């Protein structure tokens, strides 16, 4: 109860604290988006939904990264490799073992979660309380190992299982058609993110995790088995990333390069959202997703209106997450919710 209120008041505070310049910027943003929506309504909605799908996948990866960083103080570079494994496990379940998509959606996250537990128990447990750089190097090494293992088993080129038939169609939205699978992705990711949010903010388990983030040693002094919670949170974070990989592989396929590509984006999301804040990671993931998909549309619409074709910069979308990060850090050096993370 109190934490939803907290989120709302925090949101209000965030808005009320803005300077006139920032409000002017926001107004300009709204006008640009409006122009794009009028000029190219079909493409705009298409990209908005694409950005939502992509953003939710980023949220799913970032959550685990943010939780592990907040609770254990370890920068888990291997988190992208776990996302990638989710994709490969899904492919293996469906293509190699012939099981249905539903089964893969269950097996892949659990499988990735188990890999996560092994990583936590065998490697990370030795690194708690040590220099962060050691954790970063160790998990970077793990990433390379998992990547090479995937390359060895599934090859260097992308693999993609067949999309389940009932999710292949499209849903008509008048100006455009949206793939049913995209809507399915949004639904599943929303449910799982909401589930994590509920677990952390409303349950006794979540209470002990939040306490652990704030003062790990004291949490143990009041009787909480903290090592068990570390393992549980690592399982959870890995499984959510694995589920993200499972959702993505069916539409876009997966290749070993995804491990590093996505962990980098997840870092960007965590930094934008503010370390230790679940709410921040969710917002930042969506922000990055939408920015990446909508900025090209906004630019091309602006090019039409102004007649200056140079505005329509090609291939800009890949650098957008980093541009967003730079802008956010210039305004709020600790990220959007870095000071008042829900986890803290």
Partner 1 sequence: MTLLTVENLEAGYETGQVLFGVDLVVEESELVSLLGRNGAGKTTTLRSVAGAAEPTVLGGEITFGSEQLAGVAPYSIAQRGLSFVPEARRCFPRLTVRENIRLAINHASDPKDLETVLDFFPELSEMREKQARNMSGGEQQMLAIARALAANPQLMLLDEPFEGLAPYIVRRIEDIIAEINDQQGIAVLLVEQNVAAAVAVADRHYILDEGRIVESVSTTQLRENEEMRQRYLGV
Task: Please report, as ranges, the residues that interact with partner 1 according to CB under 8 A.
Answer: 2, 129, 204, 207-208, 210-211, 214-215, 217-227, 344
User: Which DSSP category does 95 fall into?
Assistant: I
Helix axis angle for 79-91 and 101-122, nearest 10°, is 150
With residue 73 as reference, give the H or E element that holds it: none
Q: How far apart are CA 213 and CA 141, in angstroms?
A: 26
CB of 39 to partner 1, least distance (A): 46
Q: How far apart are CA 118 and CA 217, in angstroms?
A: 24
Cβ distance to partner 1 smaller for residue 9 or 306? 9
Asked if 247 contacts 188 with a C-beta cutoff of 8 angstroms, the reply is yes
Integer-rounded Cα Rg, in Å, for the chain is 21
CB of 129 to partner 1, least distance (A): 8
Cβ distance to partner 1 smaller for residue 106 or 211? 211
Cβ distance to partner 1 smaller for residue 133 or 222? 222
Cβ distance to partner 1 smaller for residue 4 or 225? 225
Cβ distance to partner 1 smaller for residue 261 or 344? 344
CB of 130 to partner 1, least distance (A): 13
Cβ distance to partner 1 smaller for residue 144 or 211? 211
Cβ distance to partner 1 smaller for residue 206 or 237? 206
Q: How far apart are CA 234 and CA 163, in angstroms?
A: 29
Q: How far apart are CA 253 and CA 111, in angstroms?
A: 19
CB of 70 to partner 1, least distance (A): 12
Helix (H, G, I), strand (E, B) or coil at 276: coil
CB of 207 to partner 1, least distance (A): 6
CB of 205 to partner 1, least distance (A): 9
Asked if 58 contacts 265 with a C-beta cutoff of 8 angstroms, the reply is yes
CB of 140 to partner 1, least distance (A): 27
- For 153-157, the CB contacts below 8 A with 24+ separation are 153/88, 154/88, 154/91, 154/92, 156/255, 156/256, 157/255
């Amino acid at each position: 109860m109190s934490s939803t209120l907290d989120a709302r008041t925090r949101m209000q505070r965030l808005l009320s604290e803005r300077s006139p310049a920032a409000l002017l910027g926001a107004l300009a943003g709204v006008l640009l988006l409006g122009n794009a929506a009028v000029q190219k309504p079909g493409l705009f909605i298409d990209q908005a939904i694409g950005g939502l799908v992509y953003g939710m996948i980023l949220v799913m990866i970032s959550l685990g990264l943010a939780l592990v960083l907040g609770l254990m103080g370890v920068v888990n570079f291997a988190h992208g490799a776990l996302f990638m494994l989710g994709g490969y496990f899904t492919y293996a379940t469906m293509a190699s073992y012939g099981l249905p998509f539903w089964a893969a959606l269950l097996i892949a996250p659990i499988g990735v979660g188990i890999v996560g537990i092994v990583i936590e128990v065998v490697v990370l447990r030795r690194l708690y309380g040590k220099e962060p750089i050691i954790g970063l190097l160790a998990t970077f090494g793990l990433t390379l190992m998992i990547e090479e293992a995937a390359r060895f088993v599934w090859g260097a080129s992308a693999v993609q299982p067949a999309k389940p038939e009932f999710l292949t169609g499209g849903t008509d939205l008048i100006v455009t058609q949206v793939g049913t699978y995209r809507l399915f992705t949004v639904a599943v990711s929303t449910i799982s993110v909401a589930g994590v949010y509920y677990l952390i903010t409303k349950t006794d388990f979540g209470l002990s995790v939040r306490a652990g983030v704030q003062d790990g040693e004291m949490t143990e002094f009041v009787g909480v088995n903290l090592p068990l919670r570390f393992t549980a949170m690592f399982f959870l974070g890995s499984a959510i990333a694995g589920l993200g990989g499972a959702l993505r592989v069916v539409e876009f396929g997966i290749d070993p390069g995804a491990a590093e590509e996505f962990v980098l984006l997840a870092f960007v999301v965590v930094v934008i959202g503010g370390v230790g804040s679940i709410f921040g990671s969710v917002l930042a993931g969506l922000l990055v997703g939408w920015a990446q998909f909508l900025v090209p549309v906004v630019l091309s619409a602006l090019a039409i209106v102004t007649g200056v074709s140079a505005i329509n910069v090609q291939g800009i979308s890949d650098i957008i997450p980093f541009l967003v990060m730079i802008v956010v850090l210039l305004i709020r050096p600790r990220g959007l919710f870095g000071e008042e993370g829900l986890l803290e």
